[in-house]
Amino acid sequence: MSDLRLVVVGAGGRMGRMLMRAVTEASGVTLSAALERPGAPVLGEDAGLLAGVGALGVSITDDVDAAFAGADGVLDFTVPKATVAFAQAAARAGITHVIGTTGLSDEDNALIDDAARQTVIVRSGNMSLGVNLLAALVRRAASTLDMEFDIEIVEMHHKHKVDAPSGTALLLGEAAAAGRGIYLKDHAQKVRDGHTGPRRAGDIGFATLRGGSVVGDHTVIFAGAGERIELSHKAEDRGIFARGAVRAALWGRGRAPGLYSMADVLGIRDI
Ligand SMILES: NC(=O)C1=CN([C@@H]2O[C@H](COP(=O)(O)OP(=O)(O)OC[C@H]3O[C@@H](n4cnc5c(N)ncnc54)[C@H](OP(=O)(O)O)[C@@H]3O)[C@@H](O)[C@H]2O)C=CC1
Ligand SMILES: O=C(O)C1=N[C@H](C(=O)O)C[C@H](O)C1
């Protein structure tokens, strides 16, 4: 079988560079194009030199249609507005779209859902094996423990991160809510400030820390009367997300159009 031809968008970003490295290191895939936004300072640079893997002869471009026309899939860790446009372009081109971008609004997600009627889209707030396994464990814990256990989710990321709570924290919140048989949107407590009054029974709370170079730490706390259970994941290297994205693109090959998650890719939806 021929190599899967992948485009990395947001090529100049922290994840973009890591994705280009992961594509060159994985077997069965090849980097067919690397995209940045019009006017980005890295346009015209060699993608491999930018990623620190040696020259690849692939120049960073802003020509979306040309890049997608010569590809089988796109790896996208950028910003919400760009991701929605890439989903629509990927649908037109009929190529797999792997979305790692977080901070997507309900409106953004609805447009992505539309695009997924025409092509394969894998979307996840976290592409690592560890976090997706953690989510399955959180769902199981939440379904086992009664409502006396208060659920709080604490996350810490590097100081450049622009969205909160993190996509992973929300993914873990969704897992906890699913375990309890409730909707996260009805029970999420994302901000506390001032005289808040006592904790509302059944809420799922979020706390956000930002600083330094932290790649991504998440802990889900089940706080009961007289005991506390904590389930944690600590990311030490962005390579775990990039390798997960490549795996998702390979998994998407030949699938029916639709919206999929990393739990589908990893085969852990039902554990
Ligand atoms: N799901 C997961 O496993 C993970 C998700 N993420 C998420 O990925 C996203 C990116 O994170 P990170 O790499 O740290 O952020 P960066 O800001 O380093 O990278 C984003 C890149 O996207 C570029 N970009 C913006 N608009 C466009 C456009 N229209 N076309 C092409 N490129 C564009 C930016 O360019 P410029 O700066 O010039 O505007 C920048 O290079 C975030 O939402 C983050 O939360 C991160 C890690 C793991
Ligand atoms: O912005 C990041 O860096 C990360 N974003 C994702 C998130 O919002 O959860 C995944 C990971 O934690 C790193």
Q: What is the pLDDT of residues 168-181, one digit of tens each?
A: 999 999 999 999 99
Mean pLDDT of 73-89: 98
* Residues contacting residue 149 through CB under 8 Å, at least 6 positions apart: 222, 223, 224, 229
Using CA positions, which residue lies closest to atom 4 of ligand 2?
216
Confidence of residue 125 (pLDDT cuts 50, 70, 90): very high
Whole-model pTM: value is 0.98
Confidence of residue 271 (pLDDT cuts 50, 70, 90): low
Q: Which of 14, 99, 102 to mutate to test the pocket of ligand 2 (most atoms within 8 A of CB)?
A: 102
- Residue 32: is its pLDDT beyond 90? yes
Query: Is there a catalytic annotation at residue 157?
Result: yes
Which domains are seen in the chain, by residue range?
4-127+238-266 (3.40.50.720), 129-235 (3.30.360.10)
**Residue 165 preceded by cis peptide, ω within 30:** yes
Q: Starting from the CA of residue 15, give the closest ligand.
A: 1
Using CA positions, which residue lies closest to atom 11 of ligand 2?
216
Q: What is the pLDDT of residue 101?
A: 98
**DSSP-derived secondary structure for 149-181:** SEEEEEEEE-TT---SS-HHHHHHHHHHHHHHT
Q: Is the CB of 149 under 6 A from ligand 1?
A: no
Confirm or deny that 92 is annotated as ligand binding: no
Q: Is the CB of 205 under 6 A from ligand 1?
A: no
- Alpha-carbon distance 261 to 248, whole Å? 9
Q: Is the CB of 16 under 6 A from ligand 1?
A: yes
Q: Is the CB of 216 under 6 A from ligand 1?
A: no
Specify the 3-state DSSP secondary structure of 208.
strand
CA 168–ligand 2 middle distance (angstroms): 7
Q: Starting from the CA of residue 42, give the closest ligand.
A: 1
- Side-chain-side CA neighbours of 271 within 13 Å: the count stands at 12
CA 127–ligand 2 middle distance (angstroms): 9
Q: What is the DSSP letter of 230?
A: E
Mean pLDDT of 102-128: 98
Interface predicted TM-score (ipTM) over 0.95: yes
List Cα–Cα distances, 143 to 1, 72, 90, 106, 140, in angstroms: 43, 39, 37, 26, 5
CA 225–ligand 2 middle distance (angstroms): 32
- Alpha-carbon distance 208 to 109, whole Å? 23
- Report the number of secondary-structure helices (H) and strands (E) in the chain: 10, 12
- Alpha-carbon distance 183 to 176, whole Å? 10
Q: What is the pLDDT of residue 268?
A: 87
Q: Is the CB of 173 under 6 A from ligand 2?
A: no
